[in-house]
Each structure stands twice: as structure tokens, then as C-alpha cells.
Amino acid sequence: MKLNIIFPIKTHLHIFQLEEYKPLRFLNWYRNNLFKRKLEQKRELVYTNKVKLILALAFIWWLTILGVFVFSSPLAGIVVSLLLASQPYLLFFMAIATLWPYEYLNKLRIKQKTRKKINNLPNLKVIGITGSYAKTSVKEILYQILSTKYKTLRTPESYNTWLGVAKVVDYELEHRYEMFICEMGAYKKGEISEICDMVKPDYGILTGITYQHLARFGSLKNIVSAKFELVEAVNNLKRIVFNLENKNINAEIKKRNYKVSKPKIKLVSLKLTKNGMLLKIVIDKNTYSITANLFGEAQAQNICLASEMALKLGMKPKEVIKALNNLKPFSNRFIVKKLGNTRIVDNTYSSNLESFKQTIKTAKSISGRKVLITPGIVELGNKESSVHKKLGALAKDSFDQIVLVGKSRRTEALKQASGKKSIFISDNKQDYQKYIQKYVDEKYDWIFLENDLTDNY
């Protein structure tokens, strides 16, 4: 551990992995953390084959440079090699550059293989799901609905990159499957098109668009354009489910002059309970009551989007309703856990403007003492302060206490807008858990956990 202070190989490699081996992303972190050596290890470094290869190539580069300098000047060789070892990210950058030709050619090979396998399954229906938020939730709900009638495969967890999708197709997709639900994520324009080119989606769901990953996309316009790549790939508006409650989706539909029909499903009432929620929805003028083992305003909307697609895929209303009444919750997305007499609403997987607003709206609609614990939303670029001030102003009317995890521009803006209701705590695991227990001991009725941070944030 002491050697890591001088030669932060593991620290730099860990952050490099979290930043998806992007040198510019790493440098952005490094600029703000020049002397940081100890990480919270919120997400462990995973020694994948790629990580091992980067380490091996970095060591080879280090030996090569040492050898070149030692040959001309032994002292210079020692000094340069020690300097490089103290800044190991430079060696990792060289390793990545060395790997690039192989990775490029391998990517072409994998994409071609994936496309060929999909083309050899003519009876398979592929449903693409994308958006700035709720992709995984809608995917999980749709999977549970479709599985009651069809042999259905979905991309697990958040396997939503081209490589993640390709692995699922290669290892899991078989002839017996009738439906393949494919979650599609992106950090820049063109990435969703790339996935669509591999799997050829027949249907699509656009869950919602907001300022998610704005720092990477550069503008809301780019985010909208990227998400609508799925619509362009399906190229049949009747096979697309749009979240028409999202203003950015509606604006783009009008801009493109799309003729989109109204959804068959309409949510007419929602009541949140300590064990889930009670919904009433209308399908083709018929009203149905649903007791769902999910929680939150956001999940009610996700149920409607997933159910709309199930109807498009041939399921009957009563089949959909039966499936909805048997929904099971899924990890870290508005999961309600009971600790003593306190209910903890866990939405720590990720957060964005709309998700955060839905959390606030959910809290406002239920009674009891409520606390919000959050580090804020990351990757908002120049919108970081304005978005958090808006959220802080909304949150102060819905919660009795707001706990801000770590001091940052995000939490400072939340504090400025929410005032005396807010307190700061450090961003280490121990303090985080201590404050959860504190509010359980103080007999708060509800603890809302919104978002979590990896070590690079």
C-alpha cells in the first residue's frame, strides 16, 4: 500500500477501467486528483483479460524505454524509468495505443459474427430499448410480461454497449427464443446505430430523453439525435413506443413531422403503498386494476411503456394485466427494503434529472417523516449547477431532511437551493451507512437513496 503512494499503478488502472480506457476521460479525472492515491473501492478493479493485457504491455513499454535510455546513459535510464513508474497512466496510454489496431479489426469481426447470427434467426423478433433513463426498468418489466407467453431473452443487467450485446447474442441467443429484448446505451452519436446495425431491431421503445451524460454528448440536441437512431433503424412508427409524456421526445416528433398514434394504454390513477402500488389503467376503453410489486411514480410510467409494447407484440390485454399483477422487483431501481419500521427506497444504480424529479414527486405523495440521501447527478456539464438548484428547490418541500454525500459543485448547488434542511456528510462508505442507520434509529418512515458514485466521481 505504501508503494502505491509513490507508484499509483493500481489507483490509475482502476480509474482507467472506470473511465472505459478513454485517455481524455482519465486526464479529466487526473487534473482534479493529482495526488489522490486511496480510493473508496466502491466498485472493485476487475482483472479482466484486457486489464491483464494492458498491464503486460505497459510493463513491456517500461522495459523498452528503460533499455533505450540505459544504453546511452544508465543514470538517465533509472531516472526516466522511475518517473514513468510514478506516472503509470502514461504507460497505460501507450498500451492502449498498441492494442488499437487489434481491437479495431476484432470489433469488425465480432459485429459481423453477431449480424450473421441474427440474420439466421428469421422468426426472432428483436425489441430495442433506449433513452436517457428507465431503459433497464422498462426492459425488466417487458421481459416479465413477454415471458408469460413467449420464449424471451433479454440483455442482462446493463449490458447495453455493442460489445455487451454481442456477448449476449453469442453466448445465450438460441433458436428456441421468439423474442430478444436488447437494451441500447450510448455516450455519443452513432453508438446506438452501431448496435442496431448488428441486431436489426424490429420494434423499439424510446423511454425518455433528458440531460443524461451531457458532458459526454456535448448538447441536448446530440442526445436527442443519438436516441432517435433507434427510431430510424426500425423505420416503422407503428412499431415504436414513444414516451409521449417526455417533452424532448414530443418536440423531436413534431420537428420530424412524424405521425404518431396515441397509446392504447392510459394510466388513470396511482396509489403508492408501503408494499408497492395500486394502479388503474385503461386499455381500449376497458379499465383494469393492478397491484404491482414495484414502487414509485417512475415505475408506473415504465409499466405503461412496457405494456404498450407487449400489446404491439401480440399479447391480449388480459394476458398483460395478469403478468403485471405478478411483477417482481429488480435490483437498485426503486426497490423498497424494510429496516425496523423504516422503509428504504433504493434508487442507487444511477440518476438523471427526470429520475430525480420522479423520486421527489413520489416522496411528496406519501405521508410520514422522509429523508433524502444523495450525491447528486454526474456528467451534467455546464448544466450541473442549474439542474441541482432546480432539484434542491423541489426537494426541500418533499423531505424533512436532505443529506448531501460529499462536497462538490453538485451538492453545493443542492444546498444553496434547499437551505437549512440540508447537511453534508463525507463520501466514504462508513459515513453513508452510519447516516442510514441514524435515520432508522430516529424512526423516520422513509429513507430515499438517490444515486451512487464510483471512485472516478
CATH architecture of 121-324: 3-Layer(aba) Sandwich (3.40)
CA dist 136 and 352 (Å) reads 14
Query: What does R_g of the chain's alpha carbons equal in angstroms?
Result: 24
Say if residues 276 and 241 touch (Cβ distance below 8 Å).
no
Q: What is the model's pLDDT at position 455?
A: 64
pTM over 0.85: yes
Domain locations in the chain as residue ranges: 2-106, 121-324, 335-450
Low-confidence stretches of the chain (pLDDT < 50) are none
pLDDT tens-place string over residues 83-128? 998 999 999 999 999 999 999 999 999 999 999 999 999 999 999 9
For 285-369, strand residue ranges (E) read 286-292, 335-339, 342-347
Task: Tell me which H or E stretch contains 126.
Answer: strand 125-130
Q: Does the domain at residues 335-450 carry the CATH identifier 3.90.190.20?
A: yes
Cell numbers for 1, please give them. Answer: 500500500
Q: What is the model's pLDDT at position 332?
A: 64
pLDDT tens-place string over residues 219-275? 999 999 999 999 999 999 999 999 999 999 999 999 999 999 899 999 999 998 877
